[in-house]
Amino acid sequence: MKTVAVVGGGFAGISSAFYASRKGYKVILIEKSTSLGGRWHGVKGGFDNGQHLLSGAYKGTLHILEELNCSKYFKSTGALKVNFCEDGRQFLFDTSIFPGKVGQLLALLKLKGLSIKSKIGILNFITSLLFNKINSQNKSCLEILKEYQQTEEAIIRFWKPIIVSALNGQPEDISAELLLLTMKKGFFGTKADSALIYPTVPIVRVFEKIKEELSKSCEVRLSTKIVNISKTNYYELETSKGEKILADEIISAVSYPQFKKLFPDIAGSFGSFNNIQFSSIVSASMIYSKHFTDYMLNALLGTKAEWLFDKTRMMDNNRHKQDRHNFEYAITTSSAEAIFSLKSPEIAELFDYEIRRIFPKSKDAKLIDYHIFREKSATPLLTSTMQNQRPKPQKINGIIISGDWVNTGYPATIEGAVLSGIRAVDRL
Ligand SMILES: Cc1cc2nc3c(=O)[nH]c(=O)nc-3n(C[C@H](O)[C@H](O)[C@H](O)COP(=O)(O)OP(=O)(O)OC[C@H]3O[C@@H](n4cnc5c(N)ncnc54)[C@H](O)[C@@H]3O)c2cc1C
């Protein structure tokens, strides 16, 4: 039986290990941290490093979670309800009125806070998208939105919150191809596809379960960092502790900065993809003495806090659920370069200011505690140039590549990572 070493225990590595063992290989999954999960991980105090959401269209991810007995830790929003908030006013995007695409289009028509002109423009865009009429090649999101005569208001209040949160970059930077795919498969896909899926427990519990399930068919080695790889008759993976792990095949499932360190020669052959930049995400867990929103998902328009999630509604056993004086909210700011270098108290103060400006009910709520999480290289910044140069799934110099940076057609997301693992196993 051939041995496959999978280096990296994020979603790409989990997916590679799972499918390689299904194919009958002896699999060793190697992760340098103390837990699986990679860029989605738990932090001290039982928090996640940021609010991660799955789309109902993430078929690969949902399948693997099911196979690894983890679906029970996730819930679906069902029909999507997003509360768009601005300066004390709130506009509900509610797709529950009617099932499927009709519901989504009706929700758009009923959405207050957008002029008729903006709504007609968005509808035209979506119709062209659904009939595959849009040519996105080599264009940024902003270019394509302008080409389809989206009003300034629609760009700022409708498109930008979607692009920044789903693709972690600004409309002028991100490849239009990725926006079209996200809109078509997710937002304006079937009712199930347009739902959002969220964890109801701290994510560490999910990764503990994944480890337990994977360990039935693979060897999972945590706290094991690979520092060098050489080849004679087989691959020799050297760990930071000087141990040698032998394997017939290698799947690399590390992020691109780590890939460049481990495989500089292969990275060199990817040419100007090596100039890829990364976008950051700043998240916070804010605990208040009062409940101040009626909705789980809140888009905070025109603020630096962007999205607010009501954790009391989301978590099964939220630590604050029993306590009527502590209400936890998660805030996520994607493409967060403007606030990344602020100190934690400054970020908390800024988020607190935005919350009080947006939610009138928060006026007399006391901020009891906060935790700030920063991820500098949260995702690769996929401009149209980088999207064109993004390496396709392949075996190169004997190494099979996977990770969210590999071009599966998906953006650099959890689903992209999972699909890259599936494609990697196809190359064994
Ligand atoms: C705060 C935040 C919020 C996000 N929100 C979302 C979201 O809502 N939805 C979504 O789809 N995506 C989201 N993303 C992006 C998503 O998390 C990533 O796209 C995805 O997790 C990448 O998975 P991966 O397996 O490709 O890489 P990683 O998760 O980076 O996994 C690589 C693993 O390799 C390990 N490793 C590296 N070097 C070595 C070595 N030498 N030896 C052994 N192990 C090594 C690392 O420790 C890591 O565990 C978010 C990211 C962040 C940071």
Domain ranges of the chain: 3-71+200-276+387-425, 98-191, 279-378
Residue range 98-191 in CATH 1.10.3110 = yes
pLDDT for residue 320 is more than 60: no
Check the CA dihedral 197-113-286-413 and report its sign. Answer: positive
The verdict on the CB of residue 32 being under 6 Å from ligand 1 is yes
Beta strand residue intervals within 346-405, DSSP E: 367-380, 395-396, 399-401
Fold agreement between 3-71+200-276+387-425 and 279-378:
no
Nearest residue by C-alpha to atom 26 in ligand 1: 403
User: How many beta carbons lie within 10 A of that of residue 97, not counting itself?
Assistant: 12
pLDDT for residue 305 is more than 80: yes
**How far, in Å, CA of 231 to CA of 398, rounded?**
9
**What is the spatial order of strands in the sheet that 399-401 belongs to?**
219-221, 26-30, 3-7, 249-252, 399-401, 395-396
**How far, in Å, CA of 424 to CA of 400, rounded?**
6
Q: What is the DSSP letter of 414?
A: H
Nearest residue by C-alpha to atom 52 in ligand 1: 378
Nearest residue by C-alpha to atom 45 in ligand 1: 8
d(CA 11, ligand 1 centre) in Å: 7
Tell me how long the chain is: 428
The verdict on the CB of residue 38 being under 6 Å from ligand 1 is yes
Identify which of 31, 36, 40 to mutate to test ligand 1's pocket (most ligand atoms within 8 A of the CB). 40
The verdict on the CB of residue 165 being under 6 Å from ligand 1 is no
Query: For residue 153, what are the CA distances in angstroms to 22, 35, 95, 149, 160?
Result: 50, 44, 21, 11, 10
**How far, in Å, CA of 82 to CA of 370, rounded?**
24
What count of Cα atoms within 13 Å lies in the side-chain half-sphere of residue 54?
28
Please tell me the predicted confidence (pLDDT) of residue 149. Answer: 95
Tens digit of each residue's pLDDT (9 = 90 or more) over 172-190: 999 999 999 998 887 777 7
Of 29, 2, 3, 6, the closest CA to residue 401 belongs to 6
Please tell me the predicted confidence (pLDDT) of residue 315. Answer: 87
Tens digit of each residue's pLDDT (9 = 90 or more) over 121-161: 999 998 898 888 899 989 999 999 999 999 999 999 889 98
Q: How far is CA 109 from the centre of its chain?
A: 28
pLDDT for residue 247 is more than 60: yes
Of 425, 428, 419, the closest CA to residue 60 belongs to 419
- 53 or 186: which carries more pLDDT confidence? 53
Q: What is the DSSP letter of 415?
A: H
Tell me the percentage of the chain whose pLDDT exceeds 70: 98
Tell me what the pLDDT averaged over the chain comes to. 93
**Alpha-helix runs per DSSP H in 291-343:** 311-314, 337-340
Of 215, 216, 213, the closest CA to residue 69 belongs to 213
d(CA 7, ligand 1 centre) in Å: 13
Please tell me the predicted confidence (pLDDT) of residue 186. Answer: 79
Residue 166 dihedral angles phi and psi, to the nearest 5°? -85, -30
User: How many beta carbons lie within 10 A of that of residue 8, not counting itself?
Assistant: 30
pLDDT for residue 8 is more than 60: yes
The verdict on the CB of residue 48 being under 6 Å from ligand 1 is no
Tens digit of each residue's pLDDT (9 = 90 or more) over 194-220: 889 999 999 999 999 999 999 999 999
pLDDT for residue 97 is more than 80: no
The β-bridge partners of 278 are: 380
User: How many beta carbons lie within 10 A of that of residue 338, not counting itself?
Assistant: 11
Give SS3 for 356.
Answer: helix
d(CA 172, ligand 1 centre) in Å: 25
d(CA 291, ligand 1 centre) in Å: 32
Give SS3 for 195.
Answer: coil
**How far, in Å, CA of 291 to CA of 323, rounded?**
12
d(CA 417, ligand 1 centre) in Å: 8
Tens digit of each residue's pLDDT (9 = 90 or more) over 265-302: 999 999 999 999 999 999 999 999 999 999 999 999 98
Residue 181 dihedral angles phi and psi, to the nearest 5°? -65, -45
Q: Which atom of ligand 1 is nearest to the CA of 36?
A: 49
The verdict on the CB of residue 374 being under 6 Å from ligand 1 is no
d(CA 10, ligand 1 centre) in Å: 5
- CATH, domain range 279-378: 3.90.660.10
Please tell me the predicted confidence (pLDDT) of residue 275. Answer: 95
Identify which of 39, 399, 407 to mutate to test ligand 1's pocket (most ligand atoms within 8 A of the CB). 39
Q: Which atom of ligand 1 is nearest to the CA of 416?
A: 19
The verdict on the CB of residue 411 being under 6 Å from ligand 1 is no
Nearest residue by C-alpha to atom 2 in ligand 1: 50
**How far, in Å, CA of 157 to CA of 230, rounded?**
52
8 Å CB contact between 374 and 282? yes
CATH of 3-71+200-276+387-425, one of 3.10.20.600, 3.50.50.60, 3.30.930.10, 3.30.420.40: 3.50.50.60
Q: Residue 142 is which amino acid?
A: L
Beta strand residue intervals within 322-381, DSSP E: 327-334, 367-380
**How far, in Å, CA of 270 to CA of 272, rounded?**
6
